[in-house]
Amino acid sequence: MNVNGVDVKRPRMEDEENSVKKNNYREAFGPDHKLSRYGTKFHLIIGVTGSVATIKLKELIDELYLKCPEDRLAIKIVTTQGALHFFDPSTISEVVYEDRDEWGMWKERGDPVLHIELRKWADALVIAPLDANTMAKMANGICDNLLTSLVRAWDNNKPLFFAPAMNTCMWESMLTVQHLKILKELMRWKEIPPIQKELMCGDKGYGAMASVQMIASIIASDVKNRFAVYSVTSENVRFDDVYS
């Protein structure tokens, strides 16, 4: 920025500085990055969006590992840019994919398209939290970032769960009613409804994301349905988590 003939750097807001720092924790993935599947695991993608409930991501991951069959769950994270205001990817053990990875991996014809590779890799997708902005994009087929591109390309033979999280005023909007109708009735995706509590802004009402325990229990049930557990107690032989 030029002021009276003098070059002056534009001051950064604190949240912009934090966003830059978070993006510097690693380079964007390139065309050589591979998404490997494991035959004995359930492959789950967690999508996070620009809701303060994203601060519960690590807690949700821990709860999923706790409730799912041991060593049978593989998790990857897909984040929107807005969600990065609420968590630091460098603190998450699982791979966190960002918008910059979509274009980092694709340079020319023949290179992998990340949202398609993620679609192939996953057995299920849960978006928790799902903010009002991303809900509206999903309902209208908009695919302007990595997560919404993944949703638009999603294989509807695989489950997609979503846990809305927004202010009560936004939750009660007639637009939200219409968007939910499209997601649940047209697309047949599975809602994990929000709960009533005191929200971060101080308002009391519906719109808070369901508890991580509830979300993890629902996902764990789906995971366990993919595995059969057999036990032969008379011979003290146990065959656990046999893939169905």
Quickly count: other Cβ atoms within 10 Å of residue 168's Cβ: 17
Structure tokens belonging to residue 30: 């390139």
Instruction: Decide if 213 contacts 63 (C-beta within 8 A).
Output: yes
Instruction: Decide if 90 contacts 10 (C-beta within 8 A).
Output: no
Distances (CA, A) of 43 to 60, 61, 73: 16, 13, 6
Quickly count: other Cβ atoms within 10 Å of residue 240's Cβ: 13
Residues 70, 74, 80: CA angle, nearest 5 degrees: 140
Whole-number Å distance between alpha carbons of 62 and 56: 10
Neighbouring C-alpha atoms within 13 Å toward the C-beta of 151: 32
Q: Is 68 a catalytic residue?
A: no
Whole-number Å distance between alpha carbons of 146 and 48: 11
Distances (CA, A) of 101 to 23, 28, 39, 231, 235: 11, 5, 25, 44, 51
Helix (H) or strand (E) holding 76: strand 73-79
Write down the catalytic residue from 68, 143, 169, 201: 201
The one-character DSSP state at 108 is: S
Q: Which residues are catalytic?
A: 201
